[in-house]
Each structure stands twice: as structure tokens, then as C-alpha cells.
């Protein structure tokens, strides 16, 4: 196995209060932003106008997006291959469906000249659908957290370890949501998928460290818990950094060169990956030590 770092001897447990303070400040900034201006929820959660048009001649998604942008609107655009047809969704109330749709049609005429188009569909995605999707998204996150606690508690015979792992995940989700709020990025079901991906990725790294802790606990039963935790984190540090750097490089490329369509997703993954690496090393294991110490 490639070794990025030679054997380290960093006392993570002694610095745990510094790590907790850093996380508290970052999370607090995100919570203040969410409380002050809320989250920029996408069409999936708020409802809005749906317009589907078919062009006579070939047209690119970039041209459609530029035309919608020049109309002063932010939209989600889906193409239908082989038909030169596009479905455009824009946030807005039901009363503004015709106003928003007419703006887009006028902008298509002005900014994509010489290319006739036909309006195939004009509709409204109502708030009832939005509320239903929000409930399902929240249920999916809660269910995944519960499953992780049960799995980790069963695997390591200690519910404290499972709770620490889930708190680390919750930390990553809050940091990512706070970053989305601070940058006013839109949150839709794709971002929910990113959050679930971050949760799975984070707990995977955490379990690697927990597994090394369990192994060291069997090999050195008389070793103090703080020393055992530090030893385990240091022994897996190279593996953690190599794995996470691989993910970060890919996500960074997606963020820089992926275009507008996946930019928000890539941003969420970028923040979540960094936060997940940090919480694996600096939050999950120190929490186990803190709770075990308090319990004893």
C-alpha cells in the first residue's frame, strides 16, 4: 500500500477541544446564515413553472440556458435527445406561470433567432409535490442515520461508537448545508443525494478508524483509551488522506470544469469531502474518548 505519510505521533485527543471549537464556530456561522436568510430551495421543494419547447433546428443546452438567463430567470433545464426539445423549470408561484413562460418564449425568440420553436407543454409543479418530496428527503436522511447507529453499535458492540459516528455525519451535513446557505446555492433533490453520499463516505472512513481501535483494543487491552485512540488514528492517517485526496481531486475537477448543471452538486461534495475527512479524524474518535471517559 502506498504510504503518503510516514509514521506520525500526533496527539489528536489532547487537541480535541480545539477541534470541537473549530467545528462549533463553522456550524454556528452556517446556522446563523440559515436562520437569517434561509435556504435557497429549488423547484423540487418550492414549486414553479414548467415549460417544454421543441426547436426546429438543433440548439444546445448552453444556448437555452443563456436565453433563460437573459430573461432574468434561473432555471433547471432538461434536454430530450434526438428531438431538439427542452424542458425548462423555473421557481415561482402558480399565479406567475403565464408571466414566466411568456418571458422565456420571448427570450427564445430574441436570443435564438432564425430557429422556430413549438410550445409543447406549460404547467405548474405545485407545492403539494414540493412538501411531499421534502418529507421523503428528510425521512431518507433520518432512516439512514438510524441504520448507521444500529450497524455500528452491532459491529462494535457499543452504541456510543455508533452515536459518535452519526454525530460526525450530522456535523458534515450541517457544515455542507451552512456552506450552501452562505453562498446562496440552490438546494434540490440532487443536493439531497450529495448529502447522503457524504454521509456514507464519512461513516466509511470513521469505521476504518473504529475497526483499528477495536483491533488495538484486543491486542493491547491495558492500553489507556486516549493512547489507543491516538495510535489508531495515526496508524490509519496515511490511508485516510490518500483516499480522501483521490476523491477531492475528482470533485475539484467536476467543480471547476463540470459546468453549471453539476456545479452545485460538485460544490456540496467538495465541502462535504473536506468536512468528512476532518470529522473522521478530529470529531468521531475524540467523541468516543470523551463519552467513554465521562461514563467511567
Divide the 296 residues of the chain into consecutive groups of 10 and give the mean pLDDT of each group. Answer: 66 92 95 90 80 90 90 85 84 83 91 88 73 75 78 76 86 94 88 86 85 88 87 87 87 87 90 91 89 68
CB atoms within 10 A of CB 61: 14
pLDDT at 53: 92
**Angle at which helices 225-257 and 189-219 pack, to 10 degrees?**
150
Domains in the chain with CATH codes? 16-42+129-295 (1.20.1640.10), 48-125 (3.30.2130.10)
pLDDT at 5: 63
pLDDT at 17: 93
pLDDT at 24: 95
Amino acid at each position: 500500500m502506498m504510504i503518503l505519510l510516514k509514521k506520525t505521533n500526533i496527539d489528536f485527543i489532547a487537541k480535541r477541544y480545539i477541534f470541537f471549537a473549530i467545528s462549533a464556530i463553522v456550524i454556528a456561522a452556517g446556522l446563523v446564515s440559515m436562520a437569517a436568510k434561509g435556504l435557497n430551495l429549488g423547484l423540487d421543494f418550492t414549486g414553479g413553472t414548467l415549460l417544454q419547447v421543441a426547436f426546429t433546428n438543433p440548439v444546445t443546452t448552453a444556448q437555452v440556458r443563456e436565453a433563460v438567463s437573459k430573461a432574468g430567470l434561473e432555471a433547471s433545464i432538461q434536454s430530450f435527445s434526438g428531438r431538439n426539445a427542452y424542458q425548462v423549470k423555473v421557481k415561482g408561484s402558480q399565479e406567475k406561470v403565464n408571466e414566466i413562460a411568456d418571458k422565456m418564449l420571448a427570450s427564445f425568440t430574441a436570443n435564438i433567432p432564425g430557429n422556430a420553436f413549438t410550445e409543447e407543454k406549460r404547467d405548474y409543479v405545485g407545492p403539494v409535490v414540493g412538501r411531499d418530496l421534502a418529507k421523503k428527503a428528510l425521512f431518507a436522511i433520518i432512516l439512514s442515520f438510524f441504520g448507521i447507529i444500529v450497524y455500528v453499535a452491532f459491529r462494535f458492540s457499543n452504541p456510543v461508537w455508533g452515536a459518535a459516528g452519526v454525530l460526525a455525519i450530522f456535523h458534515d451535513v450541517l457544515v455542507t448545508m451552512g456552506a450552501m446557505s452562505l453562498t446562496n446555492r440552490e438546494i434540490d433533490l440532487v443536493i439531497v443525494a450529495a448529502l447522503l453520499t457524504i454521509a456514507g463516505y464519512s461513516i466509511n472512513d470513521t469505521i476504518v478508524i473504529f475497526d483499528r481501535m477495536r483491533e488495538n483494543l484486543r491486542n493491547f487491552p491495558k492500553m489507556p483509551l486516549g493512547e489507543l485512540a491516538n495510535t489508531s488514528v495515526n496508524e490509519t492517517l496515511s490511508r485516510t488522506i490518500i483516499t480522501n485526496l483521490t476523491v477531492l481531486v475528482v470533485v475539484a475537477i467536476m467543480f471547476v470544469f463540470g459546468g453549471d448543471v453539476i456545479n452545485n452538486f460538485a460544490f456540496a461534495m467538495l465541502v462535504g469531502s473536506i468536512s468528512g475527512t476532518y470529522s473522521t479524524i478530529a470529531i468521531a474518535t475524540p467523541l468516543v474518548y470523551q463519552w467513554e471517559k465521562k461514563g467511567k
